[in-house]
Structure 1
Amino acid sequence: MDGTDDVGREVGARLRALREATGLSLSATARRAGLGKGTLSELEAGRRNPTLGTLFAVTTALGQPLSAALPVPADAAPDAAGTAVDAWLVERGEEADVYRLRVRAGARRRSAPHGRGVREQVLVVAGHLRCGPEDGPVVLAPGGTTSFAGDVPHVWEAEGGEDVSAVLVMRRPPA
């Protein structure tokens, strides 16, 4: 056994593909990332599991975000799907849940009020999102954030003809 797992091999293959797409040699990439050429070669071949620091170093050297090297889970079906919004539960906590959202272009979702005291915090990753209380939604561009009461009717709508990718944190009041 070589000590790596399927994820390590997939990450290695993605790193190699990213490097080749940039046209950089193994040596040049290793030098930019501050790694030994042998270390990078073993990572790309899937014979070594990368650390988070190593992944940041290599993806930065390639001018790519860390996410470009990470695999998308095969079971990427949403945990909750609707006609306008799909949601993937990322983390469940005592007082907050974190979701990855996709809001479909051209669709609008009116959300009924959630439990008393619920607050929703949104970060837009891609696209333009209109969201918030029905009587005063805001439009967010990539990198934009907002927070609003989730215990009133609120809306979710992609603007500009493209799907929106966002992160939603739903906070509940302490019990």
Structure 2
Amino acid sequence: MDAGLSQVGARLRAIRQDRGLTLEEVATSAGMSVSTLSRLESGKRQASLELLLPLTRKLGIRLDDLVPSGPVDPRVNRSVIRRDGMIITPLTPEGSPVNTFKITYQPRSEALELRVHDGYEWLYVLSGKLRLQLGEQDLILSSGEAAEFDTRTPHAMSAAGGRPAQIISICNESGVRMHTHTA
């Protein structure tokens, strides 16, 4: 659980006690049971807007007062995805408007199915050689090369030659679904 959210109950209790209010007074005026408020304050009940909004009104505070506005950890900690011979490492947080991935493609002998979806994709080859099939074009991109294309054009990617290819891929939400979800 997020460290800030895990402290909501303790902050709620401290504010209630600073105002000299009992569990019963606050719970009753917020329309909840004393047991629910007690469990919320002790961290045994998960905080939700449905519970917190009436409490913040009663206590005369903002939701922001319950969650510290300390520094946000900028590191991205998401799991690697292995799919269809690819190793996909997310480089942006879940839900970002623009998504970035490091993708490792393995060499393949079989032909790839061309796919189409809404959006755009930008890519940069970090190492190896990438085969980009884009409509009627069959391109080989080497380390240091980049490409941008409309993903409504039928396309497929794989490593070219005998070793893996690593790329950085930047795409919108439609591209995320194509890279990270099975068909």
Q: Which TM-score applies when normalising by structure 1?
A: 0.47
Structure with greater proportional strand content: 1
Q: Which structure: larger Rg?
A: 2
